[in-house]
Structure formats: C-alpha cells, structure tokens
C-alpha cells in the first residue's frame, strides 16, 4: 500500500481498500524476513504439487469472498469492478503472502481470451470455474518442431462427427501435470497455409489418450512437461473461436501472457538485492551502488508500464503499448538482476551450504535468469513482434506463408 494511494482514494475506493485489508488480515500471513528470500520453485515434486494446490486454494478463497475476477461481469463470477479495484487489491496484497501462484497466470491468459472469443455457452460454465481456481488450465502450444514458429505446429486433429480426434506431441507445458484442462492448438487443415489451418481446442486433461511426462530441470524443479496425445477425442463444441481460425485465438493468449509476465506479481527484486549488498558489505562500492540505482529505476519503469498495460487489458481495450515491449524488458531485467546478485555475493553465494536461504535465492536468480527470455516467446520473437506490429516495419522474409502447410519442409 502507498500513502499516496490511500490519500487519493475516493470514498468508494477507501471502502474497498478497507474490505481488502480486513480480508487479508483475517486470511493471509504478512510477508516476513523468511518469505523475502523464498524462491518460486521446489526441487521436491510433492512440495511443488502442494504449493500449486495452495495457490489454487487461495484463489478459491478470493472467489468465495468476492475478490476474484474483480473486473469480470458478476454473472460470470466476477465482481463487475473497475481497473482501480485491481490496483488497490495489489497494493494491499503486496505486504502479505497472498498468491494464487500458477493459477493467476492461467486466469490472465485465458480469461480475456474467453471474453473475446468464447460463446455464451462456453463462458457461462468456464469463467466462474476459471476465476475460482476450480479449473486449472495449462498451455498446450509448443511442440518439438514448433516453438518460435508456433504456426508450424503438427499436432493433427481430424474431425469425426461431433468430435475431433487429436494425435501429436506438445512440450515445455508449464504445470500440465497438475492441471485439469488444457488450451490446445492443433492442425485441422494441412492443405491451408500454416496460420490458417490451426484450431484452438479446450481439452480435459483426463481425456483418454493424454499422457503427461514431467521434465526435470538443472535446478531439480519439474516446472514443465511433455504431453503426448494419442487419438484423444475432443467435442467440436470445445472449439474456441472458429475451426481453422485458432491462430488468432492463440495470439490473444500469447499477448495476454506477455502482459501478465510484464505486468507484475514479481515482487521487488531491488529490495532483495539491496539486502544482499548490506549482508556482503557492498553498499559502499560505487559500481554496485550504480547498478542498484539502475535496477531501481528499471523496476519503477516496469511497474508503471505494467500498470498501464494491465489496466487496458482489464478494460478489454487495446494496450497503449505492445505487451512485447514489457515482456522483453522483464526478460532483460531478470538477466541483469541475476548478474548483479553474483556481482554482489561473488563465489560465496554460489558455494554457500545447502539450506542457506539467502544464497538459495541468489542461486535461483542466477540459474533462472534466462528462462523468462524464452518462455512466452523468446526475446528475438518479441523484437520481431515489436518491429512488425508496433513499428510497422517490413515483415520478416518468409517463403512459407502462402503455401499449404503440408508442403512446408520440416525437420
């Protein structure tokens, strides 16, 4: 919470702030010294699963108390509020251990997408279940041969009456091992050019024929998975948008993902870097001081840009700047922060004994600093997006945009 925010409140805003404060005091633990150094992954699969469920339970509590989906219509499970409701909630929740974890990202990706592309028959049951955390959704987009070039995807869906029969493989699917539903993009017409023969399906993860295999990372965490689909039957009623027009739906998800990644929920890394510098007696070092000041400036800029973009997304408006710029900025910031943690702590941070939570945090910053440059679209792809969409520069030279997908050479 900021005094500035409190002083500027209208009576309606002040009443909402009081409601949020009362809810948080009654239901969440204040952030303490220990949680300051918490990392957002577990090396033990059971701990990770428990953490995921704790996030889901927190979302359920928000929903039960009228604090989930603050800007969504009340008839779809939301509060029917304004972007300022979200701002106030975020200001107040910043001091508490109050996170929905992965669920928050799925709501951010799928919620606005359902609002834009869903039918009433899809929105009415799915949005309340999404906002309450009852359904947890994973993103089944990337494939071994289709990441940056997502439109080249090869997972095939063949229509059989009122169903599609889906076969193929997805990869890098975050949290798919715990999710009950999947956002799945498939190839429904290989004779159309690659962007046009793609369909977006909403799939039950317990459908026969789906196998989820967790991937183990260097940190020991199992954040993402391979997902194999063998003759999985998905009702045609589960198509989001139109058959063969799923590319536009997927783009909405990806744009929301960039806005979410850029828009916050990271907490202040700057504060922890300063604490780390104090612990290592480096606050008097002019080079470290300069880098900390630059880090502080970047964090503030991100907050302001993130708030502007997220406010537009919540109003279902076109963001004032392309979300790619924010995603790129966050990714570059993560690399600089990881480097700075190392510059401050040096070898002692990496070599510290297991169980040292400050070192554990610094190591996670170091090892995890590149993931965000890849997930949700790589830095290079974000730059292409910015060049083409925001700056209107000529499109990248491609020879596969107008030919049928089945004629495009693939490895």
Ligand X SMILES: Cc1cc2nc3c(=O)[nH]c(=O)nc-3n(C[C@H](O)[C@H](O)[C@H](O)COP(=O)(O)OP(=O)(O)OC[C@H]3O[C@@H](n4cnc5c(N)ncnc54)[C@H](O)[C@@H]3O)c2cc1C
- Residue 173 Cβ vs ligand X, minimum distance, rounded to whole Å: 5
Q: How far apart are CA 248 and CA 323, in angstroms?
A: 16
CB-nearer residue toward ligand X: 109 or 277: 109
- Yes or no: say if 195 and 401 are a contact pair by the CB < 8 Å rule: yes
Q: For residues 58 and 71, what is the distance between their CA atoms, to the nearest angstrom?
A: 18
CB 373 within 8 A of CB 334: yes
- Torsion, Cα of 195, 130, 170, 216 (10° steps): 140
Cβ-based nearer residue to ligand X, 47 or 380: 380
User: Which CB, 105 or 359, lies closer to ligand X?
Assistant: 105
Name the residue nearer to ligand X (CB basis): 16 or 102.
Answer: 102
Residue 138 or 239: which CB sits closer to ligand X? 138
Instruction: List, in order, residues 6 or more apart from 313 with CB less than 8 Å away.
Output: 112, 256, 259, 263, 319
165 contacts 394 by C-beta, under 8 angstroms: no
Residue 368 CB, nearest distance to ligand X (Å)? 9
Q: How far apart are CA 90 and CA 52, in angstroms?
A: 20
Beta partners for 276? none
Instruction: Classify residue 390 by its DSSP letter.
Output: I
C-alpha to C-alpha distance for 55 and 47, rounded to whole angstroms? 12
Which CB atom, from 142 or from 256, has the smaller least distance to ligand X? Answer: 142
Nearest approach in angstroms of CB 135 to ligand X is 16
User: Rounded to the nearest whole angstrom, what is the least distance from the CB of residue 248 to ligand X in the complex?
Assistant: 17
The whole-angstrom separation of Cα 267 and Cα 39 is: 11
Q: What Å distances lie between residue 154 and 157, 248, 276, 393, CA to CA?
A: 9, 17, 47, 29
Contact 114, 129 (CB under 8 A): no
C-alpha to C-alpha distance for 211 and 182, rounded to whole angstroms = 12
Q: Which spans of this chain sit near ligand X (rule: CB under 6 A)?
A: 139-142, 147-148, 172-174, 224, 371, 374-375, 377-378, 380-381, 384, 396
With CB atoms as reference, the residue minimizing the distance to ligand X is 147
What's the closest the beta carbon of residue 290 comes to ligand X, in angstroms? 30
For the bound state, the minimum distance from the C-beta of residue 238 to ligand X, rounded and expressed in Å, comes to 18
| Catalytic site residue from 211, 257, 380, 388 | 257
Q: Is 365 a catalytic residue?
A: no
Active-site residue list: 257
């Amino acid at each position: 919470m900021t005094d500035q925010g409190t002083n500027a409140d209208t009576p309606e805003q002040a009443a909402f702030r009081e409601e949020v404060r009362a809810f948080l005091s009654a239901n969440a633990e204040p952030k303490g010294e220990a949680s300051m150094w918490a990392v957002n992954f577990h090396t033990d699969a059971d701990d990770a699963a428990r953490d995921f469920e704790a996030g889901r339970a927190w979302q359920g509590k928000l929903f039960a108390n009228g604090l989930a989906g603050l800007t969504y219509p009340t008839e779809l499970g939301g509060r029917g509020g304004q972007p300022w409701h979200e701002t106030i909630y975020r200001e107040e929740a910043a001091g508490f251990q109050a996170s929905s974890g992965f669920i928050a990202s799925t709501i951010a990706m799928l919620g606005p997408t359902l609002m834009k592309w869903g039918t009433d028959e899809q929105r009415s049951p799915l949005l309340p279940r999404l906002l309450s955390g009852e359904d947890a959704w994973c993103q089944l987009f990337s494939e071994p041969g289709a990441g940056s070039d997502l439109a080249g995807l090869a997972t095939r869906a063949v229509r059989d009456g009122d169903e599609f029969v889906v076969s193929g493989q997805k990869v890098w699917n975050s949290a798919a091992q715990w999710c009950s539903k999947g956002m799945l993009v498939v190839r429904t017409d290989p004779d159309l050019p690659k962007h046009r023969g793609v369909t977006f399906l909403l799939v039950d993860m317990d459908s026969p024929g789906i196998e989820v295999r967790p991937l183990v990372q260097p940190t020991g965490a199992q954040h993402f998975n391979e997902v194999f689909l063998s003759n999985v039957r998905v009702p045609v009623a589960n198509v989001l948008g139109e058959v063969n027009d799923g590319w536009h739906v997927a783009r909405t998800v990806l744009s929301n993902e960039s806005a979410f990644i850029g828009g916050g929920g990271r907490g202040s890394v700057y504060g922890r870097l300063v604490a780390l510098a104090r612990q290592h007696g480096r606050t008097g070092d002019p080079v470290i001081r300069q880098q900390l000041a630059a880090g502080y400036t970047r964090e503030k800029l991100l907050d302001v840009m993130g708030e502007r973009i997220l406010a537009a997304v919540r109003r279902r408006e076109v963001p004032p700047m392309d979300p790619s710029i924010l995603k790129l900025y966050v990714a570059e910031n993560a690399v600089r922060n990881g480097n700075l943690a190392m510059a401050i702590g040096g070898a002692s941070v990496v070599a510290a004994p297991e169980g040292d939570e400050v070192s554990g945090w610094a190591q996670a910053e170091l090892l995890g600093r590149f993931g965000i440059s890849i997930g949700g679209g790589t830095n290079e792809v974000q730059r292409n997006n910015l060049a083409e969409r925001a700056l209107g520069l000529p499109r990248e030279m491609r020879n596969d945009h107008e030919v049928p997908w089945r004629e495009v050479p693939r490895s």
